[in-house]
Amino acid sequence: MRGAPRLVPDCADVLHALVLLADHLDQHGSPIDYARRRALFTPRAHFIDPEPWYDLQRRTRANHLPDITHAHRWIFHTLTGTPPRLAHPTIAPTTPSQSGQYLRFRWRILPAEAELLTQTARTILDEHGIDEPVQWAPRLAPAVLRPLTLPGPDPESITVDRLHEAVPVGDFSIAQVARRLNTTTAHVIFLLSRHPVDWSPPRFRRTQHTATRIGQWRHWYEHDHLSLQDIADREGTSLASVRLAFLKNDVPIRPPGTFARRRRQE
């Protein structure tokens, strides 16, 4: 008969941290009703329309466009806090390879992609009359956790700026970034999933910026009546870049001087 298993040295501190977390949730609760979300969204197999997703892909990636199934999984995972393997069978990964591909998608997601998926998740909640944050995580006071010996590095020990500096332009491996930051691959995967990095080549990086700003540019143009040059000056870009972005995104461009003539007539 084998003896009782030995406890990992930091096991008691891990248990202590879990008790602190449970006490925090008992006292403060959560702004998200995850049980309601799981009931609503687990039977759902479709979360984002293909057209805006693939349009963004064409403008921000050179090749190897991600499967839209990963986008559905990302939104389900974000809304429910539930692993994608428990999603509707149409989108749930069923093999270790598919699970690995989804994990890779999460840490290689581009900022514009994350923004589109987050906006889509927000729209879905609004359609169901759910006035909650898209996602949320409890935070314990650092002073409470500081005396504890916990496995792995402190998730907050690497700043976003340092993370972004460590990611090279173009293709890269997670092990390469972990070596640069002197940490574990699991730590880097966690950080990149929370803080997407624009690792695109320069040409796609410019379209990436445009993709994240086109909504604001359109508002300035159509509602605040700024000119194309005004917008270019505000953003520190060229008039041609703004005009091309509007043409690509089907923003009607008014004739030059429209509002100046209207003001003179008034």
Alpha-carbon distance 92 to 43, whole Å? 11
Alpha-carbon distance 142 to 144, whole Å? 5
The number of CA neighbours under 13 Å toward the Cβ of 31 is 10
Mean predicted confidence (pLDDT) in 46-62: 84
- pTM exceeds 0.75, yes or no: no
Alpha-carbon distance 99 to 84, whole Å? 8
Alpha-carbon distance 205 to 210, whole Å? 9
| Orientation angle between helical segments 68-80 and 34-41, nearest 10 degrees | 150
Which pLDDT score is estimated for 258?
60
CB 80 within 8 A of CB 38: yes
Mean predicted confidence (pLDDT) in 69-83: 96
Reported as a pLDDT band with limits 50, 70 and 90, residue 63 is low
Which pLDDT score is estimated for 64?
60
Alpha-carbon distance 129 to 33, whole Å? 13
CB 68 within 8 A of CB 50: yes
Reported as a pLDDT band with limits 50, 70 and 90, residue 5 is very low
**94-149 pLDDT, tens digit each:** 999 999 999 999 998 988 889 999 999 999 999 999 999 999 988 888 888 888 88
Alpha-carbon distance 251 to 261, whole Å? 21
Q: Give the amino acid at 135.
A: Q
Q: Give the amino acid at 194.
A: R
Query: Token pair 């040409």 is at which residue?
Result: 203
Which pLDDT score is estimated for 3?
45
Which pLDDT score is estimated for 1?
35
**Between these two residues, 248 and 135, which has the higher pLDDT value?**
135
Alpha-carbon distance 112 to 206, whole Å? 11
Query: What is the residue-averaged pLDDT of the chain?
Result: 84
Of 3-17, 40-54, 121-135, 248-262, which range is least confident?
3-17
Query: Token pair 């020990």 is at which residue?
Result: 157
The single-letter DSSP state of residue 49 is: -
**188-230 pLDDT, tens digit each:** 999 999 999 888 766 555 555 666 688 888 899 999 989 999 9
Alpha-carbon distance 144 to 211, whole Å? 41
Which pLDDT score is estimated for 211?
66
Closest by alpha carbon to 110, among 12, 214, 217, 193?
A: 193
For the chain, give every domain's residue range: 34-127, 202-265
Query: Token pair 């070596």 is at which residue?
Result: 179
